[in-house]
Structure 1
Amino acid sequence: MNSTRSSSNLDNATLSIFESTRTSTIISVIYMVVTVVNLVGNGLSMWLLLFRTFPKTPSIIFMINLTFTDLSLGVALPFQIAYQLQGYDWNLGPNMCSFLTVMFFTNMYCSILTMMAISIDRYLGIVRPMSFRETRKRKSMAIISCLFMWGLVLSVLWPMMTTDLTFDIPELGITTCFDVLKKNMLPSITAWAAFLFCMFFVLFFFPFCITTFCYIRVIKQLAKDSKTAQKVRAIRLAVLVLLVFTVCFAPNNFLLLVHTILRLYYQKSVYTAYKLSLCFSCVNSCLDPFIYYLGSKDFRQKLRQIMGWRSVSSTESKQEHRDILYSMHCVYEGQQSKNGHIDATQNY
């Protein structure tokens, strides 16, 4: 994002970014790979989650929500690829620009909030199994949580939905989409500060802290029992989620904050780095199916059946037996829900 010195002139540093074919080519290639992997992986995941995975536990509901946001990004990326290959020249009009930009950022922040929700569900099911014991109540809360996530994200991104995000650059004969934001997009510096605060702290940093806390507690709790395979999957899941936050989400959000402050107050820019980080943020949509594989036992089994793999290995069969014994132990201790199992634990 870059502020302008006038309605028709940009500084030389900004113009050089749009003249660089190397950066746009790298971004286009990454987007192409992400689009293919996204649509194939998440298309299969959505089919499995909707039609082959039962019952629809809270974790499965959150995974469906996450898959939907990923597929939305996969549909939007081809337009971004065309824009990059045409040399940052947008020719689909301001409304389409605003719509696709909001879709792009909605995927990022809904993914962050959904991963937080999944981590909270794991935490409640494993660390505090007596909380929210009724499956029906937990399902209702999961659906309400998904609707709340979308409402929160769209309310924060409202300025993008109501603003013309295109910008004409006569010097280069192009019209950019979202690459140059006008200062009058928001009425004051205070409004810009509130906008950035909500994007960085409410939609990224706070969920990141909650997710980290929940998975650390889950790993500690699982370390107390002897189910080695379950602990390994839990650790892999936690590492993968934190990796997505660290590699995909953190650089983009930190650079967005730094870049906007530099442009508003010091007339400096780190936009090239931000543009690349925005590109890498899309990689999260390719990693989410692996989160489902590690996070849902039923999803793993259905995927093995579809791919023609062995349903379970001998080692995993033994683990299934230990899981049953563990569930019987939970019943004896009075830690089970009314339907006779702990949902989040079984999902591992």
Structure 2
Amino acid sequence: MAGNSSSFKLDNATRALFLNVNTSIAISVIYMIVTAINLTGNGLSLWLLVFRTSPKTPSIIFMINLTLTDLALGAALPFQIAYQLQGYHWNLGPNMCRVMTLVFYTNMYCSILTMMAIGIDRYLGIVRPMQFRQTRVRKSIAVFSCLLMWGVVLSVLWPLMTTDLTFDVPELGITTCFDVLKKDMLPTLSAWAAFLFSMVFVLFLFPFCVTTFCYVSVIHKLSRDSKTAQKRRAILLAFIVLLVFTVCFAPNNILLLAHTVLRLFYNESLYMAYKLSLCFSCLNSCLDPFIYYFASKDFRQKLRQIINLSISMDSMKMDRKESFYSAHNAVEGPVGEQRRLSLMPSTA
């Protein structure tokens, strides 16, 4: 965090990050891999969820919402890759910087809230099946919940939408994008505290606790009166969701809180660690299709149909090739033999 760029000098940790070419390349490579997996996996998932899965249950609606946020992240990552490879120099202007930053954080927090919503829906459907039995009402609640999630996230992230997030660093000759924040982005320390509290506790810690409770309750219920396959899928789903929370979301939010407190009150920095955690937070978009697979029976069936169709088409192609070569050899065999006999010298 800084005042105006003319009198500002980088702290050692941030300068080390900007000058560390290996870290920049490593982060860029991770972003490239995430982009490829994100666009492929979530593109297929969106097609299955929208055009091949019916009826549109609340879980499917939540999954569509999650897929759209993941695809938005996949579309924004190439800009971040270019920014990294150019030595943290942003040349697309303040508005595009705001858009890219907003996409990063809306993906994270909308994903967290959507996973919580999917967990609540499974909890009500398995642990409390007598509640919310009317599908039509549940669909309207699901749509309203998605809109509410976006509203809550955008309201918390409002300072990012109204601030110029670019910053000139004269000593390095670069213009950063959301790597150096202005202290006057928020007017007081109380406003900064409210901003951080909303991001870390409201948008992360509370949903994490609710999601954990829902999946533990579902596993406990299924362990008593469920088939082994259904119980195994529920355990795998809970494992993937909690893995996403602990690996992708928890480090970033914890480091965000620690770095900001250290920077505001002690003039210390954890920025390199925070930057790496932000990179790993994007991995959630690669793991989300696995959540769809274990959470939705319809999604599993449609995906298996596509895989089986692809395998059958490949086998048909192989059979055609084999039949073609066998027929070709059957025709060519006697003719070739006759030609060889006719070319043999006479022994009379």
**Residue 59 (1) aligns with residue 59 (2):** yes
| Cα distance change of structure 1 residues 310 and 93 upon mapping to structure 2, 3 Å threshold | closer
- Where in structure 2 are the equivalents of 1:26-37 lying within 5 Å? 26-37=26-37
C-alpha deviations, 1:104-136, integer Å up to 9, x for none?
A: 100000000000000000000000011111000
- Aligned partner letter, 1:139: K
Partner of 1:100: 100
Q: Give me the whole-angstrom Cα distance separating, in 1, the residues matched to 2:16 and 2:138.
A: 52
Structure 1 counterpart SS, 2:176: strand
Partner of 2:86: 86
Partner of 1:129: 129
Query: How far 1:310 sits from its partner (Å)?
Result: 10
Structure 2 counterpart SS, 1:54: coil
- Aligned partner letter, 2:36: V
| Cα distance change of structure 1 residues 94 and 226 upon mapping to structure 2, 3 Å threshold | closer
Partner of 2:338: none
Partner of 1:186: 186
Give % identity: 75
Partner of 2:308: 308
Q: Give me the whole-angstrom Cα distance separating, in 2, the residues matched to 1:98 and 1:302.
A: 38
**Residue 141 (1) aligns with residue 144 (2):** no
- Aligned partner letter, 2:289: P
Contact 2:3 2:184 in 1 (8 A): no
- Where in structure 2 are the equivalents of 1:1-348 lying within 5 Å? 2-3=1-2, 7-308=7-308
Partner of 2:335: none
Contact 1:165 1:181 in 2 (8 A): yes
| Cα distance change of structure 1 residues 20 and 136 upon mapping to structure 2, 3 Å threshold | same
Q: Give me the whole-angstrom Cα distance separating, in 2, the residues matched to 1:307 and 1:189.
A: 55
Structure 1 or 2, whichever has the larger Rg, is: 2
Q: Give me the whole-angstrom Cα distance separating, in 1, the residues matched to 2:104 and 2:12.
A: 28
C-alpha deviations, 1:307-344, integer Å up to 9, x for none?
A: 22699xxxxxxxxxxxxxxxxxxxxxxxxxxxxxxxxx
Give the aligned CA root-mean-square deviation in angstroms.
1.4
- Aligned partner letter, 2:177: C
- Aligned partner letter, 1:28: S
Query: How far 1:11 sits from its partner (Å)?
Result: 2.5
Contact 1:25 1:85 in 2 (8 A): yes
Q: Give me the whole-angstrom Cα distance separating, in 2, the residues matched to 1:267 and 1:158.
A: 26
Partner of 1:326: none
Structure 1 counterpart SS, 2:192: helix
Query: How far 1:17 sits from its partner (Å)?
Result: 1.6
- Aligned partner letter, 1:108: M
TM-score with structure 1 setting the length:
0.87
- Gap runs ≥5 in structure 1: 312-348
Structure 2 counterpart SS, 1:47: helix
Q: Give me the whole-angstrom Cα distance separating, in 1, the residues matched to 2:22 and 2:309.
A: 42
Query: How far 1:98 sits from its partner (Å)?
Result: 0.6
| Cα distance change of structure 1 residues 226 and 309 upon mapping to structure 2, 3 Å threshold | farther
Query: How far 1:13 sits from its partner (Å)?
Result: 3.1
Contact 1:4 1:10 in 2 (8 A): no
C-alpha deviations, 1:165-224, integer Å up to 9, x for none?
A: 000011111000000001000000000000000000010000000000000000000011
Contact 1:46 1:67 in 2 (8 A): yes
Q: Give me the whole-angstrom Cα distance separating, in 2, the residues matched to 1:153 and 1:103.
A: 11
Q: Give me the whole-angstrom Cα distance separating, in 1, the residues matched to 2:282 and 2:70.
A: 9
Query: How far 1:3 sits from its partner (Å)?
Result: 3.6
Say how many residue pairs are matched: 310
C-alpha deviations, 1:251-289, integer Å up to 9, x for none?
A: 000000000000000000010000000000000000000
C-alpha deviations, 1:69-123, integer Å up to 9, x for none?
A: 0000000000000000000000000010011101110000000000000000000
Contact 2:14 2:272 in 1 (8 A): no
Q: Give me the whole-angstrom Cα distance separating, in 1, the residues matched to 2:49 and 2:310.
A: 20
Q: Give me the whole-angstrom Cα distance separating, in 2, the residues matched to 1:4 and 1:213.
A: 43
| Cα distance change of structure 1 residues 256 and 175 upon mapping to structure 2, 3 Å threshold | same
Contact 1:37 1:286 in 2 (8 A): yes
Q: Give me the whole-angstrom Cα distance separating, in 2, the residues matched to 1:310 and 1:268.
A: 55
TM-score with structure 2 setting the length:
0.87
- Aligned partner letter, 2:78: P
Q: Give me the whole-angstrom Cα distance separating, in 1, the residues matched to 2:309 and 2:243.
A: 28
- Aligned partner letter, 2:209: C
Structure 2 counterpart SS, 1:218: helix
